[in-house]
Amino acid sequence: MVNKLDHIGIAVKDLEESVKFYEEVLGLKLQGIETVEEQKVKVAFLPLGDTELELLEATSPDSPIAKFIESKGQGVQHLAFRVDNIEKVLGEMKEKGIRLIDEKPRYGAGGAKIAFLHPKSTNGVLVELCERKE
Ligand code: ZN
């Protein structure tokens, strides 16, 4: 049903500062930074092998990322799995009784179609489904 780990989403307070760690200490390369207005986040992408890291900084105090950091601190926020047909997968999840945060996909960074599953249905992990062209 899912093809691969598309990316790991990491909530950070300071994007530039965090990118430094991944570039200078771990040797990754920043691919780009994008602001996703709808989700009130600024996102930095760092490819790593067949997947990538997505660093997320809140652009507003009511951003989901700001709320996450407020309650849990900085750190891994979500896992994103790549799917071919997100509408179809969401339909199947619903049939299986999985609680969805997004009944319909919305657009995330890089023009990907994304939808989140509720952590109550996934043993505590915020799971993102993600459909995009390579
Ligand atoms: Zn993500």
Q: Structure pTM?
A: 0.93
Domain ranges of the chain: 7-131
Distance CA 125, CA 119 (A): 5
Q: What is the mean predicted confidence (pLDDT) over 89-94?
A: 96
**C-alpha of residue 56 to centroid of ligand 1, in Å:** 9
User: Coil, strand, or helix at residue 15?
Assistant: helix
**C-alpha of residue 112 to centroid of ligand 1, in Å:** 10
What are the tens digits of pLDDT across the range 52-80?
Answer: 999 999 999 999 999 999 999 999 999 99
**C-alpha of residue 54 to centroid of ligand 1, in Å:** 6
User: Coil, strand, or helix at residue 72?
Assistant: helix
User: Coil, strand, or helix at residue 78?
Assistant: strand
Q: What is the CATH number of domain 7-131?
A: 3.10.180.10
Indicate the pLDDT class of residue 134, thresholds 50, 70 and 90.
low
